[in-house]
Chains A and B, each alone.
Chain A
Amino acid sequence: MLTIAGRKFRSRLFGGTGKFSSPEVMQEALAASGCEMVTVALRRIDLNNPADDIMRVLDRDRYLFLPNTSGARDAGEAVRLARLARASGGGEWLKLEVTPDPRTLLPDPIETLKATEELVKEGFKVLPYINADPILALRLQDAGAVAVMPLGSPIGTNQGVLTRFQIEIIIAQAQVPVIVDAGLGAPSHVAEAMEMGADAVLVNTAIAVAGDPVRMARAFAMAVEAGRIAYEAGLGAVRKDAAPSSPEDGLGFLR
């Protein structure tokens, strides 16, 4: 069972609530995914459309809310959003996202570390979204982050785990759970991440924009399970180089 900051999760798939065609489709897809934690963002209410409220369909008893600080361009904005999230009854869990570049939505490592240090002091359970930088992951862990969320590829690009090599290092070194987030475009991608040893994955775009989001959510859930079981069961050998030509090749000096 997955444990993050003392809380247990049966499902290692976390869902995002953005980009769905309607709140109803979102609700059905999340239910089909089996996820137990969902991200939400904070935005100004559209006063021309006061009834547009995803809280109508998101059951807070069923899902743990993980507010994100999307939109924040620096630590100051992220901290402010975090406090707003907490004030709205969002709890202390927080996905810290500091993305100053709107084109790539890549996270700013320096502002993320700064914000983490501040927010940990204020009692938040911080899950920082980062590029797959192993040293940054260690620094955030040292600063008190309860997990790290390295990207597989930039948000919405659906390219899969392009950062495989670095994520393997993060998984090997981390003492907190590693949640691969962003860029996971197909069930095979999340299976790959789980086979590597990731503790969980977060998927949003790939489910929300699929032809049939509900069925896609189910597919992702199965892939997460498959990947995890494969990891725990011990994957087979992939031969990298040929066997030596004779059994004692190169060891003639031994007595």
Chain B
Amino acid sequence: MFTIPEFPVLQDAISRATEAEVLRALHADRPRLAGLAALLSPAAESHLAAMAKRSAVVTSQRFGRTMQMYAPVYLSSFCANRCAYCGFSADNTIARRVLTFAEAESEAMILHQRGFSHLLLVSGEAPAKVGVDYLEKLALRLRDRFAALSIEVQPLATEEYARLFHAGITAVAVYQETYDREVYKQVHLAGRKADFDYRLETPARAAAAGMREVGIGALLGLADWRAEGLALGQHLAWLRKNYWRTGLTVSFPRMRPAQGEFKPLLPVSERNLSQMIFALRIFDPDVGLYLSTREEARYRDGMIGLGPTRYSAGSCTAPGGYGLENAGGEQFEVGDSRSLAEVSAAIQQKGFDPVRKDWDAVFQAKGDRQQAA
């Protein structure tokens, strides 16, 4: 079982880091967790440019000059949880919508038309609206037209992930939101999500089920971002040791305005976010790093080549937002509203290749495959 130390322990490790330790971590072949702590510390801030440079070198060695493109499809804005920070919280009065299979397919095909081959299927956590049966059926429908389908939904059991894997889902994203148990309790007011430990074990369950990739992350702004970074590093290291066959990714959702007007408890600046990304890249050269459209175009362009390896474009965070009428309420406001073509052009301008297809459904073993009706 993966366990995480109490936040004060993580914070202490970070605050004790010296500049000497920062430099050591910056130049070590493979910094260990103590090195990651140093890179996340205030002592590293004056070395941000050097961190960017190292992060860029490591990213280039491992990923070449590429950026993988993906798009989210919001399937449902129904949610049984009451998370203080989220637009979909059960407490918020927004237009709720769950897409039918035909609607979900139509949204997906709009993205297909635009050129996307990697989709992230997102939903609020409401099993009655979007449960395993729904996801399984949808995956079977879509798998032939997309290279990879990942999900960001409520935590599921291992057997359920296994079912979805056989249906064509390749990756699972589940963010702990915050690794600070105390803050977690405060912001997750009700619903299954209130169970910190069950959520914490979810990436392991997805990996055990055979998912090719598992994505973790913290919602930046809830608790001390430096300690979140260290916790993410620990989580990555644990997953690598225990599920060595599984690919890993980290996302960095940074709190933005949403319904409910939740103000970040501990605001995270762009510099902070960059430091976190560079630190994790240096710590784990192989991890995929997502930078979503929550961030501004200017920032995302600046970060090309410095660490992130997965960009979305043209994202809508409301179910039906791409092409349907009466789209539901948004989960969050988008910072970079450029189209795939525009973001791809920006990526190419920087000398990188926007990769729309990096896998093929043909490689994924099909279980008892049934054609969707």
Contacts and interface: CB of A to CB of B under 8 A. Distances in A.
Say if the two chains contact directly (CB < 8 Å): yes
A138 to B, nearest CB: 5
B46 interface: yes
B274 interface: yes
Interface in B30-82: 30, 34, 46, 48-50, 52-54, 57
Contacts of A138: 244
Interface stretch (A37-45, A56-64, A122-130, A240-248): A240-248
Contact of B270 (A172, A235, A246, A255): A255
A250 B28 contact: no
B240 A238 contact: no
Given A236-B24, A237-B27, A243 B50 contact: yes
Nearest to A243: B50
A243 B50 CA distance: 6
B27 A239 contact: yes
Given A138-B244, A234-B24, A253 B301 contact: yes
A157 interface: no
B5 interface: no
Contact of A168 (B30, B240, B271, B298): B30
Contacts of A51: none
A241 B301 CA distance: 25
B299 A244 contact: no
B4 interface: no
A247 B28 contact: no
Nearest to B22: A237
Contacts of A255: 270, 298-299
B302 A253 contact: yes
Contacts of A248: 48-49
A52 B46 CA distance: 69
Contact of A254 (B27, B54, B274): B274
A254 B244 contact: no
B23 interface: yes
Chain B interface, DSSP helix/strand/loop, else mixed? helix
Given A254-B274, A254-B302, A244 B244 contact: no
Contacts, number: 60
A191 B23 CA distance: 24
Chain A interface, DSSP helix/strand/loop, else mixed? loop
B48 A251 contact: yes
A236 B303 CA distance: 30
A250 B48 CA distance: 10
A112 B22 CA distance: 42
A177 to B, nearest CB: 14
Interface in B143-189: none
Nearest to B300: A253
Contacts of B30: 168, 172
B1 to A, nearest CB: 15
A146 B69 CA distance: 43
A249 interface: yes
Contacts of B369: none
B28 A173 contact: no
Contacts of A234: 24, 34
Interface string B7-33: 000000000000000011011111000
A251 B49 contact: yes
Nearest to B57: A241
Interface of A: 138, 168, 172-173, 175, 234-241, 243-244, 246-255
Given A175-B242, A236-B24, A249-B52, 18 more contacts: A168-B29, A172-B30, A173-B240, A175-B241, A234-B34, A237-B28, A239-B27, A240-B27, A246-B49, A249-B53, A250-B52, A251-B49, A251-B274, A253-B298, A253-B299, A254-B270, A254-B302, A255-B298
18 contacts: A138-B244, A235-B24, A236-B24, A237-B24, A238-B28, A240-B27, A244-B49, A244-B53, A247-B46, A248-B48, A248-B49, A249-B52, A250-B306, A251-B49, A251-B302, A252-B302, A254-B302, A255-B299
